[in-house]
């Protein structure tokens, strides 16, 4: 009864068609939006066409059709809408997102965060794999300014590096080397400008 009342209250605030629906068994379904904020490239099958509706309905896994792999950057801050159940866990949401984008990287490389705004600040909190995102959405209401979900790299030290292949690890090293060089150039430019201002003052 409490869940039913919460769903009715939630649906009354919805300004689009993304309503929650209560099932006879007490579970409920609804929609969540996940912001993809990935700073590093992901690994996908090379030369594979995008997944069609037919493939999704037949549960065809295009990634299994080739052993060739390539890496690319997903669009920064892309948003993916998912229709899930109250029994869908964070772990299943991550796996579902990776499948939709045909990402073949180990799911342990990624983590789902909840983003909240409080006193003008943006706060991120990593969600445990057993958490239920739709229940959090129900409690917070439909306003994404109050609560939103974000997929980011798992950088808390919990990544099992042994699970990655040699090409993936080499790719990480190349990315880190580039980031390091970019950072060094930024520091050089900063102090070069500072030096020029000092010389002008003298």
**Residues 170, 136 share a domain:** no
If asked whether residues 72 and 165 sit together in one domain, one would say no
Tokens of 172: 């990480």
To the nearest whole percent, how much of the chain has pLDDT over 90? 45
Domain around 22:
1-153
Q: What is the CATH number of the domain that holds 131?
A: 3.10.20.90
Which of 93, 136, 91, 92 lies closest to 116 in space, CA to CA? 136
pTM of the model: 0.66
Q: How many CB atoms lie within 10 A of CB 155?
A: 12
Q: Check: CB of residue 107 under 8 Å from CB of residue 150.
A: no
Kindly report, residue by residue over 47-104, the tens digit of the pLDDT: 554 444 444 445 445 545 456 667 777 777 788 999 999 999 999 999 999 888 888 8
Q: Are strands 21-22 and 78-85 parallel, antiparallel or unpaired?
A: unpaired
Q: Evaluate whether 13 touches 141 at the Cβ level (below 8 Å).
A: yes
* Residues 127 and 197 occupy one common structural domain: no
As a whole number of angstroms, the distance between CA 28 and CA 20 comes to 7
pLDDT at 157: 54
Q: Among 45-59, 139-153, 155-169, whose mean pLDDT is lowest? A: 45-59
Name the β-bridge partners of 81.
Answer: 33
Residues 2-56 pLDDT 10s = 899 999 999 999 988 889 999 999 999 999 999 998 888 888 776 554 444 444 4
């Amino acid at each position: 009864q409490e869940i039913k009342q919460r769903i009715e209250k939630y649906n009354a605030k919805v300004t689009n068609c993304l309503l929650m629906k209560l099932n006879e068994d007490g579970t409920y379904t609804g929609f969540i939006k996940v912001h993809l904020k990935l700073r590093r490239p992901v690994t996908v099958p090379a030369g594979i066409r995008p997944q069609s509706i037919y493939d999704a309905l037949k549960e065809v896994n295009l990634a299994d059709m080739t052993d060739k792999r390539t890496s690319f950057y997903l669009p920064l801050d892309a948003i993916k809408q998912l229709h899930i159940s109250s029994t869908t866990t964070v772990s299943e949401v991550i796996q579902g997102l990776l499948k939709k984008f045909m990402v073949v990287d180990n799911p342990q490389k990624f983590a789902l965060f909840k983003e909240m705004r409080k006193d003008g600040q943006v706060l991120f909190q990593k969600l445990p794999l057993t958490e239920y995102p739709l229940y959090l959405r129900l409690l917070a209401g439909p306003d994404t300014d109050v609560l939103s979900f974000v997929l980011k790299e798992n950088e808390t030290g919990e990544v099992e590096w042994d699970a990655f292949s040699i090409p993936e690890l080499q790719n990480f090293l190349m990315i880190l080397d580039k980031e390091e060089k970019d950072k060094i150039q930024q520091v050089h430019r900063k102090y070069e400008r500072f030096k020029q201002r000092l010389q002008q003052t003298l």
